[in-house]
Each structure stands twice: as structure tokens, then as C-alpha cells.
Amino acid sequence: MKTKTTFTEIDSLEKELAGIAPLVRQGFLKAGGPSAEIDEAIRAEAARHAGGQRNRLAWPLYRTLAAVAAFALLLGGSIQLHISRQDSLNHPSTPRTSASETALSAKSAENGPGLANLLLEIQGLNEDGFFRPEEDESLWL
Amino acid sequence: MKETMPDAETSDADLLLCFSQGNSAAMDQLVGRYRQALFSWLLGMTGNRADAEDLYQDVWFRVIRHAGRFNDVSFRAWLWKIARNLLIDFRRKRKPDVSLDAVEDEDDVPLIDQLAARDRGPAKAVELDDMTKRVMHAVATLPEVQREVFLMRVQADLSFSEIAETLDIPLNTALGRMHDAMAKLKKLLAEEART
């Protein structure tokens, strides 16, 4: 019956305490509490720590906002790329003339009838020049 | 985040939770609840106002820094566990123990009398009534292990099982120390009454 003994003991101790405890409390109460500086230091530390906690709790919000902004930017870029590709597929642009192509066309002009006529004229074999109108003939002679 | 003042009936654990979420008013309220009891206990254990103030500040700083770690059943028991651990550290650092009725060099005035006079000036010194004075002297002469249990019950209002848990001793040991303390106090007070 150990438990019963303990409870009986607690009861009797509490009864004895009831007489002496108020006197002890009164004595310490009259001795006073901690100084105002100590109270202020504790209050300041609590405020500083609570401020830090609030900032820590606010961090995830900023990080979420940054992540959403980055995602929106990526999404916008992808959409833009897709649109421009679609556009180029629907309206193919005219092929550009390159410098080599220009040189090639110049070469073909040199090989054309213009050059043949020139060569024939130099050799005096160009028959086109034999048929002149009458008014030009006196000057020719 | 705007700080709201928790109401007076908010539990200690809820106040601590509020503080962990950034509400410093909750800690102010919690400090207010245990201000006198904790300081009196420390004063009774150290017998020195300056040491009691240093320890009192350290206890609350520790509570503030570790508020998020609180997972005990009773905040009161947790608070006194912190206070006791800090008191042990303090004693280790500063060996010579000063009891409440020890005499300081300058004025040969017992510390118990100085406690009443300090911070108020000699003119405003609060008179402790005779009976209170005798009880305080008797408490101061208790051996430390008994004084610790006695003041935890009287000042901290901890239950005997909480005291046993805080001191990491069996319940019967706590009851035994309390029983011895009460017997000694009764004897001392009876002797003083006769003289």
C-alpha cells in the first residue's frame, strides 16, 4: 500500500504548508522583484527574437513569389518561341540572293549574246551593222 | 504582421506558441505570470540579489531562444528545470555559496535584511513583520536540497511529482526532503518563539 502512504503524506505535508507558505511568499514579495533594467532587457530580447521569427515566417512568401515570377518568364519565353516558329512555317520568306549567286549571273551575262555580238563586230563579221538606214550611209562612207 | 495581445486566460503553452510565431506580447505576458515566483525562488537559492537578477535574465533569455523546442507537459516545470540547470552552472563557476542569512563584510547585516532595504533606500525600507522575518531566517538555514524542494513547492507552486521530475529524483525522495524541511522549520520557529 505504498501509494496510499504517499498520498496520506502529501495531504499532511500540504496541511502543514498551508500555515507557513503565505508567510514565506509574503517575505519574498516584500523583498521585491527584479529591477526595471532586467525587465526591459528581457522585453527587448523577446521583441528582437519575435521580429526574427516574423521575418523567417515571411521568407517562404517571397521565395514563392520569386518562383512564380521565374515560371511566368519561362512560360512567356516558350510561348513566344512557339509563335515565331509557327509563323515561319506558315509564311516562308523569299530566298535571299547571295553574293555568289550575283557573281554567277554576271558571268552568265558575259557569256550571253551581248558578248558574242561584240566579238563579231571586232572581227568585222557582225552583219547587223551592214544594214544601216540611208541617212546614216553618207557619214559611214 | 500586427501583434495582438493574447487574453489573460491563454495557456502557457499557447502563449509560447504565439511567441514562436512572432508575437512578442505573448512573451511579455508569460514573463509577467512567473516574474515574482521565479525571482523569489532564485533569490532564495542564491541569497544574493545581483546573482538572482543575472540568473533571472539568463533563464528568460534561454526560454526566448528555445521557445520552439518546448514539448514538456508543463511550462512551469520546464521553466524551473531551466532555472535549476542555470543555477547549477552558476554554482560550478562560482564555488563559494552564500546563504540567505549569510553576513556580508561591510555592514554585518544578514542578506535577508538587505533584501528588504535594497532598491528602496534606507528611508523607504520595507519592514518585514516579525513572523515573516523569522520564517525567512528559518528558510535560509535549511540545507540546500531541502530549501530547493520547499521553495519549488511554495514559490513555484509545482506539484510534488513535478518537483521530482524537475530534480530527476523519485517522488518519495522529494516528499522526504519536504518532510525534513517542514520538520526543521517547525523546530526552528519554535526555538525562535521561545527566545
Asked if the Cβ–Cβ distance from A45 to B60 is below 8 Å, we say yes
Do the chains contact at A17 and B64, CB–CB below 8 Å? no
Residues 6+ apart with CB under 8 A from A29: B36, B40
Gap from A7 CA to chain B (nearest CA, Å): 10
What pLDDT is recorded for position B79? 94
Low-confidence ranges of chain B (pLDDT < 70): 1-3, 95-128, 193, 195
Residue B23 at interface with chain A, using a CB cutoff of 8 Å: yes
Q: Output the CA torsion sign for B52, A24, B36, B177.
A: positive
The pLDDT value recorded for residue B30 is: 93
Look at B1 and A54 and tell me if their CB atoms are within 8 Å.
yes
Section A22-32 average pLDDT: 86
Q: Does the ipTM surpass 0.90? A: no
> Which of B19, B23, B29, B36 is the best mutation test for A, with the most CBs of A within 10 A?
B36
Q: Please indicate whether, in this complex, the C-beta atoms of A17 and B153 are within 8 angstroms of each other.
A: yes
Closest C-alpha to B152, from B182, B178, B186, B189? B178
Distance CA B138, CA B112 (A): 11
Contact criterion met (CB < 8 Å) for A30 and B120: no
Nearest-Cα distance to chain B for A65, in Å, is: 18
C-alpha distance across the termini of chain B, in Å: 64
How far CA A4 is from CA of A1, A9, A99, B108, B181, in Å, comes to 6, 9, 112, 48, 22
Q: pLDDT (tens digit, 9 = 90+) per residue, A63-102?
A: 788 888 999 999 999 999 989 888 888 876 655 555 566 5
Given the C-alpha cell 523583498, which residue does it identify? Answer: A31
* pLDDT at residue B112, as a whole number: 56
> Given this model, what pLDDT does residue B118 score?
47
Asked if A31 contacts B40 with a C-beta cutoff of 8 angstroms, the reply is yes
Question: How far is it, in rounded angstroms, from Cα B49 to Cα A49?
Answer: 27
- Tell me whether residues A24 and B135 touch, CB distance under 8 A: yes
Q: What is the DSSP string of B103-168?
A: B-TTT--BHHHHHHHTTTHHHHPPPPPHHHHHHHHHHHTS-HHHHHHHHHHHTS---HHHHHHHHT
Distance of alpha carbon B172 from alpha carbon B102, whole angstroms: 31
Long-range contacts of B48-53 (CB under 8 A, 24+ apart): B48/B98, B48/B111, B49/B114, B49/B115, B49/B118, B51/B90, B51/B98, B52/A34, B53/A34, B53/A35, B53/A38
For range A46-52, the mean pLDDT:
88
Average pLDDT over chain A, rounded to whole?
A: 77
Q: Which residues of A touch B (CB under 8 A)?
A: 6, 9-10, 13, 16-17, 20-21, 23-35, 38-39, 41-43, 45-47, 49-51, 53-54, 57-58
Can you give the pLDDT at residue A110?
Answer: 61
By C-alpha distance, which of B156, B93, B6 is closest to A25? B156
Q: State which residue of chain A sits closest to B53, comparing Cα positions.
A: A34
Q: Is the pTM of this model over 0.95?
A: no
Does A32 sit within 8 Å of B22, measured CB to CB?
no
Q: What is the mean pLDDT of residues A115-119?
A: 81
Give yes or no for a contact between B166 and B80, defined as CB atoms under 8 angstroms apart.
yes
| Residue B110: φ, ψ to 5° | -60, 145
Q: Does B83 touch chain A (CB under 8 A)?
A: no
Indicate yes or no: CB of B155 within 8 angstroms of CB of A33: no
Q: What pLDDT is stored for residue B114 in this prediction? A: 52
* Residue B110, amino acid: P
CB contact under 8 A, A38 and B182: no
Angstrom CA distances, A138 to A129, A135, A141, B31, B72, stand at 14, 7, 5, 131, 132
Q: What share of chain B is helix, strand, coil (3-state, %, to 5)?
A: 70, 0, 30
CA distance between the termini of chain A: 160
AA identity, residue A30: K
